[in-house]
Amino acid sequence: MKRVGATRKKLESIGEIRQCDRKTTDGRTYPRQRTITTKADEVEKVTEIRNIRPSLLEEVSEGRLTVGEAYRQTQRHPRLLEVPKKQDGSFHISNKVNDWYTPPEVIESTRLVLRSIELDPASSEFAQKTVQAKKYFTKENNGLCESWNNSRVWLNPPYSMPEIAQFIEKLLAENIDNYIVLTNNSSDTKWFHSLLAESSLVCFTKGRLSFVNPDSDSLSARQGQTLFYRGDNDDLFTSEFRKYGEILKVVA
């Protein structure tokens, strides 16, 4: 594992740094070298964090995140590779070149079940070519600061923290009666369970959805997704979304 000065102290707390002398065959001693030994799972997590979002290691070294928390952030934001902090929502996966958006068939299923998409509060100009919401907010006019007026809401929030938790909190605070929300499977988070408790049905996708980018390419996420539903037509949601995965009823 590559040794990085900014993370050395944090790695000391994970594993053990040992001093060792190395001798040649003629008895001469090499200068001491520092080697880092850590638990295998921590090594793998640190390596993946470095490969996907190396800036998170700075937060680990400063004590603002644990290795586990930083690793979970890389999994909630699949294939993120240190992109500019563009959090327009309604796109889902990013790399250095492209933004990746909700598959059109999922949007059409949402439109059918909700009867119309009145509001997309975490969107972009490009996303609206498919979503075609009656009203939408982008990063520039920030849906977190606007009233959602109990609209029929489609929400695919930015998946990084704290943005995703803030959008879920806003949705629940607005007491929206009809919504479909698309997120990663993140059952280890508080926001996931808060949203689950207020929904009537959920769809756990079979495998991973294939998202699209502005050049019409496709990419599968690194984990499955969950679609949350609250509304006045459970039967229609069940019949329409069962093609994407298993439908479960939330029991209060």
Per-residue pLDDT of 112-127, as tens digits, reads 999 999 999 999 898 8
**Predicted pLDDT at 131:** 94
Confidence of residue 64 (pLDDT cuts 50, 70, 90): confident
**Coil, strand, or helix at residue 230?**
strand
Q: Does domain 91-249 have CATH number 3.40.50?
A: yes
**Residue 218 scores a pLDDT above 60:** no
Q: 67 falls in which pLDDT band (50, 70, 90)?
A: confident
Q: Enumerate the domain spans of the chain.
A: 5-76, 91-249
- 12-19, long-range: CB within 8 Å, 24+ apart, which pairs? 14/38, 14/39, 14/42, 14/46, 14/67, 15/39, 15/42
d(CA 152, CA 119): 6
Q: How far apart are CA 191 and CA 172, in angstroms?
A: 10
Tell me, what amino acid is at 146? E
The pLDDT, as a whole number, for residue 101 is 79
pLDDT of res. 34: 39
Q: Is-above-0.75 flag for pTM?
A: no
Question: What span, in angstroms and rounded, lies between the C-alpha atoms of 206 and 200?
Answer: 20
C-alpha distances (whole Å) from 89 to each of 138, 204, 228 are 8, 20, 16
Q: Which of 14-23, 66-75, 243-252 ranks highest by mean pLDDT?
A: 243-252
CA-based R_g, the chain, Å: 22
- Token output for 27: 């008895």
Q: How far is the C-alpha of 2 from the C-alpha of 50, rounded, in Å?
A: 10
CA-CA-CA-CA torsion sign (240, 243, 245, 248): positive
With bands split at pLDDT 50, 70 and 90, how would you rate the model's confidence at 213? low
Residue 81 burial (CB count, 10 A): 13
Among 98-112, 154-168, 207-221, 231-245, name the most confident range.
Answer: 231-245
